[in-house]
């Protein structure tokens, strides 16, 4: 009897924990869910007073699933499709978000993530394998740099960009922005990369060196492939960080055709203060690629996060 | 006749100096983007802009900065923001981590869904929260503007004024917009903190818990005397991460409140933006940036001490 009671209590405890987690998850997803709902409403339902959650009410009934007035007006206004004979589907998207801002963001994020991964793997390898004079001091210095906030350096970088724009002919906002991102996300990536290299046994390299491989050859043929999962997580983390970054681009980019998506979204905010469905649609369009990427590569993200945060 | 001493092959030199060449590009980038701007900011903090160029003004920028009423007010807002942010995030993070550790069915699904807010950009998170309370049209504005619930005129979070302060000029109690900002910021930071605490909880050994349970400790005692002391270092590290993120994060203020209503959500990082790019007083902004950087350095040095990073890298 006693044993059964104990078991029952355990089962109930587990059910309660499951229920609590379910409630917490629903609450934390709620803001996103409402945004998706808003993005599919019509202008007429947006400006109704009092606001309704589902645009499904009729004069007779409070909720009628058949009377729902869903629309893609918000998305239409973001994409702004115009008929065009030459393109594949008979129309092309003329909205700035899809035409300019998102390609820019992709370009910034890819190039920054590529260079960060490359440089971080070089110096992470060096810090992991060699013990030269000043090794620990240099590592600590690089860690200390991660604490310098973007915002304090941005004053000087802003002045730098003004001076360079005046005096250097080939100066390009995009190049400068990628370089600044590179400097901002490199220090923590060096630490994460070093952590990954530390886990690879150096006997593998030593045997390659004994077999006549050069040091660089051992790095590229043996160590890099083994560290690849870790380096991919560095790449993804940087990619997401650049994709989500706003203030640096906002202050450093001057031309409309160089703006990244977050900057473009901020423009949407000032233009569409009443058209909530347009704002919500723009939010969903910009956030969706990153969320989908996260859902597929969850383990890789967690690995880099824990490596960077707990160890670093 | 003795032959000349053979020169060492070039590859030997290369191998000896290889770590230097591997680290050099990283160092160059960090020096240009991080070290030089830091030094420039120090120089800039002692200059003022004139028609002809920069002029040395000594500590005048700092004096002017402290002289404005906005600076102490913003510091007060930042203190309130950080306190609320850390309290909400650490408490909820601890509770959720404990729940996740019980390994009930679908824990993996819950973790995945709970982490979506972390991956969403701060500017989008701010917008999402703004959409919910936009005056008149937001989803919650019907409830919030109900005079029966929030007398006398009903409350609109983004425009309601701050109540009269209780302690002199310290901005407490905060405005509704500030409370909402804290909630929105916590919503976004919570997953990261939960993961940190969960990772620490996994290291609490099962034997210790089991032996305490056999000795008759109940759940509250287990938590109070075993779990919390063992994960306290992680909690402190999490607290510092929150402080760093909270002091420097500005995107959410931009998209959620824009500093308003009035100046009631001016945190110190937003003030830096306003002085620098709103008023174009770069010298004074640099003085403020130095103060923020000093606080950051103190926090980072504390993290270094706590995690004893120098021992680990050896």
Residue of B23, B124, B190 lying closest to A265 (CB–CB): B124
pLDDT digits (tens, 9 = 90+) for A14-67: 888 889 999 999 999 999 999 998 888 888 777 777 677 777 777 777 777 777
pLDDT score of B190? 93
Q: What is the full DSSP assignment across B84-126?
A: HHHHHHHHHHHHHHHHHHT--TTHHHHHHHHTHHHHS-HHHHH
ipTM: 0.86
**Is the predicted pLDDT of residue B257 greater than 90, yes or no?**
no
pLDDT score of B2? 53
Average pLDDT along chain A: 84
Q: What is the full DSSP assignment across B167-205?
A: BTTB--SPPHHHHHHHHHHHHHHHHHHHHHHHHHHHHS-
Answer whether A199 touches B (CB < 8 Å): no
| Shortest alpha-carbon distance between residue B198 and chain A (Å) | 11
Cα distance between residue A8 and residue A13, in whole Å: 9
Using an 8 Å Cβ cutoff, are B302 and B232 in contact? no
Q: Which residues contact residue B256 at a Cβ distance below 8 angstroms, ignoring those fewer than 6 apart? A: B126, B127, B129, B130, B180, B181, B184
Residue of A35, A180, A295 lying closest to B128 (CB–CB): A35
Angle between helices B228-248 and B176-203 (to 10 degrees): 140
Average pLDDT along chain B: 83
**Is the predicted pLDDT of residue B87 greater than 90, yes or no?**
yes
pLDDT score of B150? 66
C-alpha angle A185/A190/A192, rounded to 5°? 95
pLDDT > 70 fraction of chain A, expressed in percent and rounded:
92
pLDDT digits (tens, 9 = 90+) for B276-308: 998 888 899 999 999 998 888 888 778 777 766
CB contact under 8 A, B15 and A215: yes
Write down all domains in chain B, each with its CATH number in brackets: 60-307 (1.10.3720.10)
CB contact under 8 A, B32 and A125: no
Using an 8 Å Cβ cutoff, are A213 and A274 in contact? no
**Is the predicted pLDDT of residue A130 greater than 80, yes or no?**
yes
CB contact under 8 A, B35 and A265: no
- The stretch A281-293 carries a mean pLDDT of 92
User: Per-residue confidence at A104, pLDDT binned at 50, 70, 90?
Assistant: very high
- The stretch B114-138 carries a mean pLDDT of 88
Burial class from Cβ neighbours inside 10 Å (0-12, 13-18, 19+) for residue B105 reads exposed
Answer whether A254 touches B (CB < 8 Å): no
CB contact under 8 A, B127 and A269: yes
pLDDT score of B107? 86
Which segment, A98-102, A129-133, B84-88, B134-138, is predicted with the most confidence on average?
Answer: B84-88
Using an 8 Å Cβ cutoff, are B18 and A126 in contact? yes
CB contact under 8 A, B40 and A262: no
pLDDT score of B7? 61
Residue of A129, A147, A246 lying closest to B121 (CB–CB): A246
Cα distance between residue B155 and residue B145, in whole Å: 5
- Is the preceding peptide bond at B173 cis, omega within 30 degrees of 0? yes
pLDDT digits (tens, 9 = 90+) for B207-256: 888 888 888 888 788 888 888 888 888 888 888 888 888 888 888 898 88
- Is the preceding peptide bond at B152 cis, omega within 30 degrees of 0? yes
C-alpha angle A66/A72/A74, rounded to 5°? 135
- Helices vs strands, H then E, count in chain B: 16, 2
Does domain A98-262+290-311 bear CATH number 3.30.450.40? no
**Is the predicted pLDDT of residue A177 greater than 90, yes or no?**
yes
CB contact under 8 A, A160 and B190: no
- The stretch A220-237 carries a mean pLDDT of 87
Strand, helix or coil for residue B16: helix
Lookup: tokens for B5: 């001493």
pLDDT score of A75? 86
Cα distance between residue B20 and residue B261, in whole Å: 53
Chains A & B: contacts with CB separation below 8 Å: 276
pLDDT digits (tens, 9 = 90+) for A55-72: 777 777 777 777 777 888
pLDDT score of B69? 86
pLDDT digits (tens, 9 = 90+) for B141-178: 777 777 666 655 666 777 777 777 787 777 778 888 89
Angle between helices A102-129 and A224-244 (to 10 degrees): 140
Answer whether A150 touches B (CB < 8 Å): yes
pLDDT digits (tens, 9 = 90+) for A195-228: 888 888 888 888 888 888 887 788 888 888 888 8
pLDDT score of B313? 42
Chain A residues 61-100 with CB within 8 Å of chain B: none
User: Per-residue confidence at B3, pLDDT binned at 50, 70, 90?
Assistant: low
């Amino acid at each position: 009897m006693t044993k059964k009671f104990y078991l029952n209590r355990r089962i109930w405890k587990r059910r309660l924990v499951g229920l609590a987690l379910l409630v917490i998850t629903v609450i934390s997803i709620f803001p996103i869910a409402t945004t998706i709902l808003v993005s599919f409403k019509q202008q007429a339902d947006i400006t109704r007073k009092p606001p309704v959650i589902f645009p499904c009410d009729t004069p007779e009934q409070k909720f009628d699933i058949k009377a729902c007035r869903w629309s893609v007006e918000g998305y239409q206004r973001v994409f702004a499709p115009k008929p065009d004979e030459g393109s594949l589907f008979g129309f092309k998207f003329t909205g700035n978000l899809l035409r300019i801002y998102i390609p820019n963001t992709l370009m910034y994020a890819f190039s920054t993530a590529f260079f960060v991964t490359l440089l971080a793997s070089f110096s992470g390898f060096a810090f992991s394998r060699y013990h030269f004079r000043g090794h620990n001091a240099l590592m600590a210095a690089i860690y200390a740099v991660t604490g310098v906030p973007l915002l304090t350096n941005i004053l000087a970088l802003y002045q730098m960009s003004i001076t360079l724009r005046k005096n250097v002919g080939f100066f390009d906002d995009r190049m400068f922005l990628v370089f600044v991102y590179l400097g901002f996300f490199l220090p923590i990536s060096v630490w994460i990369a070093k952590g990954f290299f530390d886990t690879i046994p150096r006997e593998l390299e030593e045997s390659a060196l004994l077999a006549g491989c050069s040091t660089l050859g051992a790095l590229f043929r043996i160590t890099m492939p083994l560290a690849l999962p870790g380096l991919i997580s560095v790449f993804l983390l940087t990619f997401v960080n650049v994709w989500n970054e706003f203030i640096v681009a906002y202050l450093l980019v001057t031309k409309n055709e160089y703006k990244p998506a977050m900057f473009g979204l901020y423009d949407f905010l000032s233009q569409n203060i009443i058209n909530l469905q347009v704002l919500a649609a723009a939010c969903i369009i910009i956030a969706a690629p990153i969320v989908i990427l996260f859902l597929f590569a969850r383990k890789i993200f967690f690995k880099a996060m824990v490596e960077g945060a707990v160890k670093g | 006749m003795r032959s000349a001493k053979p020169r060492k092959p070039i590859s030997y030199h290369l191998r000896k100096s290889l770590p230097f060449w591997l680290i050099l590009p990283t160092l160059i980038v960090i020096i240009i983007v991080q070290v030089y701007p830091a030094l420039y900011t120090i120089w800039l903090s002692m200059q003022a802009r004139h028609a002809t160029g920069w002029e040395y003004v000594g500590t005048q920028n700092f004096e002017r900065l402290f002289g404005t009423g906005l600076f102490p007010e913003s510091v007060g807002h930042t203190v309130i923001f950080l306190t609320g942010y850390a309290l909400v995030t650490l408490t909820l993070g601890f509770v959720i981590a404990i729940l996740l550790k019980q390994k009930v069915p679908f824990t993996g699904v819950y973790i995945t869904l709970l982490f979506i807010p972390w991956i969403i950009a701060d500017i989008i998170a701010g917008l999402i929260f703004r959409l919910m309370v936009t005056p008149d049209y937001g989803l919650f504005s019907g409830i919030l503007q109900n005079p029966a619930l929030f007398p006398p005129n009903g409350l609109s979070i983004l425009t309601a004024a701050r109540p009269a302060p209780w302690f002199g000029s310290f901005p407490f109690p905060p405005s509704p917009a500030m409370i909402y900002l804290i909630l929105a910021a916590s919503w976004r930071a919570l997953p990261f903190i939960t993961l940190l605490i969960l990772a620490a909880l996994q290291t609490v050994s099962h034997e210790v818990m089991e032996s305490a349970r056999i000795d008759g400790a109940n759940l509250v005692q287990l938590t109070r005397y075993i779990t919390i002391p063992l994960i306290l270092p992680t909690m402190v590290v999490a607290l510092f991460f929150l402080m760093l993120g909270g002091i420097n994060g500005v995107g959410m203020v931009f998209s959620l409140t824009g500093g308003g209503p009035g100046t009631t959500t001016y945190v110190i990082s937003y003030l830096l933006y306003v002085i620098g790019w709103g008023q174009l007083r770069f010298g004074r902004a640099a003085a403020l940036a130095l103060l923020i950087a000093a606080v950051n350095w103190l926090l980072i040095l504390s993290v270094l001490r706590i995690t004893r990073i120098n021992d680990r890298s050896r």
